Homo-oligomer: A and B are copies of this chain.
Amino acid sequence: MIWQRNELTEMLNIAYPIFQAPMAGGITTPELISETSNCGGLGNLGAGYMNPEEIKEAIKQIRSLTAKPFGVNLFIPNEREVHFDEKELTAMTVLLNQFGKELGIEAPVSNQVKNYRTLYENQIEQVLRERVPVASFTFGIPNKEVVTELRKNRTVIVGTATNVKEAWELEESGVDIIVAQGSEAGGHRGTFHEEDSGLVGSMALIPQVADAVHTPVVAAGGIMDARGFAAAMALGAKGVQLGTAFLTCKESGAAEIYKQTLLNSTEEQTTFTKAFSGKLARGIGNRFIHEMADQMSMPFPLQNDLTASIRKKAAMLKQPEFMSLWAGQGVRMAKETTVKQLMEELLAER
């Protein structure tokens, strides 16, 4: 069996090299995470948008539900502070308020700009305080001090690469595991080089990254079942990370209308957009993406804050045309399932 214990499962002390992707925005409930870990995989908290108190509470709940290892994922802020033109911000809020109005949102879209660098520093502090088993990072490389502090805690460090050069930089920084994210993947591209350089399909990305680094590689992007698992391992990965397949699990925090949309969507309906967050991400095409296609978005994560009320109200109204329906290109294989059933399917012999 190709999913037998290997260096990755040894390092993490898990039974099967299967990660539930750290999908931010309330998807990765303590139930989803703990059930994945209890089934022998690695559950991951998508904490990129959470404040330290929320992270603390989520970890407390996860620990009440499992004694197994789990991970927490953070977004590395861009070196530069979020940089934008005040006029552009005003224009964007005017534009978004039109959508807001249609959805019956009375208050105008907030244009308060957070200090994202400080948020990240506070998140890291919380993660260090909690001595989590695994810390993973997206959109960049944790700096030397963070790596050193995590090491002291014996926290396993996971980075995200979308091309070989990013993988080299992550290996040099001292991460323990590299998630290689193929262009099939749903949600945000983890790319921290030029965006165009990070759109490599899994079939090409995995072997090239595996050839380039000594660090164990976890494959992400398009993997939905035992076939994808076997294929990723054949290509040189030591494990797999699945997002879309976990989204439609009973335990996921995705809104019911989001789950139903995924269950009725097909591979060619996913598209890339920056309209929701300011950073390139793959999701099911809808009216918001279509109507925002010609607009410049504000930088990430400011655009995400600006569209938050619209997405929230749309979900409340069960109106998928204005929700961020992140999904990978394997979406036609998505099933209404549970974490346990999904894990069994992934481990099925063929």
| Residues in chain A within 8 A of chain B (CB atoms) | 163-165, 182-184, 193, 196-198, 200-205, 207-208, 211, 221-225, 227-228, 230-232, 234-236, 266-268, 271, 328-330, 332-333, 350
Which B residues touch A207, using CB under 8 A?
A: 224-225, 227-228, 330, 333
In the complex, the answer to whether A205 meets B267 with C-beta atoms within 8 Å is yes
Which B residues touch A184, using CB under 8 A?
A: 200-201, 203-204
Which B residues touch A183, using CB under 8 A?
A: 183, 201
In the complex, the answer to whether B164 meets A267 with C-beta atoms within 8 Å is yes
In the complex, the answer to whether A228 meets B224 with C-beta atoms within 8 Å is no
A183 to chain B: closest residue by CB: B201
A226 to chain B: closest residue by CB: B234
Which B residues touch A328, using CB under 8 A?
A: 204
Q: With A204-B184, A204-B329, A329-B200 as given contacts, are A227 and B234 in contact (CB-CB < 8 Å)? A: yes
In the complex, the answer to whether B208 meets A228 with C-beta atoms within 8 Å is no
Q: A193, A200, A231 — which one has the most chain B CB atoms within 10 A of its CB?
A: A231
19 sampled A-B residue pairs with Cβ under 8 A: A163-B268, A196-B271, A201-B202, A201-B203, A201-B329, A202-B203, A203-B203, A203-B223, A203-B231, A205-B267, A207-B330, A207-B333, A208-B267, A208-B330, A208-B333, A211-B333, A227-B234, A230-B231, A231-B234
**A165→B193 CA distance, assembly (Å):** 34
Which B residues touch A234, using CB under 8 A?
A: 227, 230-231, 234, 350
Which B residues touch A350, using CB under 8 A?
A: 234
**A207→B205 CA distance, assembly (Å):** 18
Q: How far is the CB of A4 from chain B (nearest CB, A)?
A: 16
**A224→B266 CA distance, assembly (Å):** 28
Q: How far is the CB of A258 from chain B (nearest CB, A)?
A: 19
**A4→B48 CA distance, assembly (Å):** 47
Which B residues touch A228, using CB under 8 A?
A: 203, 207, 235
Q: How far is the CB of A331 from chain B (nearest CB, A)?
A: 8
Which B residues touch A232, using CB under 8 A?
A: 203, 231
Which B residues touch A211, using CB under 8 A?
A: 332-333
Q: How far is the CB of A275 from chain B (nearest CB, A)?
A: 16
**A332→B168 CA distance, assembly (Å):** 14
Q: How far is the CB of A103 from chain B (nearest CB, A)?
A: 27
Q: A182-B203, A201-B201 are in contact. List 6 more A-B contacts (CB 8 A).
A: A165-B266, A196-B268, A201-B202, A204-B328, A207-B224, A231-B232
**A329→B202 CA distance, assembly (Å):** 10
Which B residues touch A163, using CB under 8 A?
A: 266-268
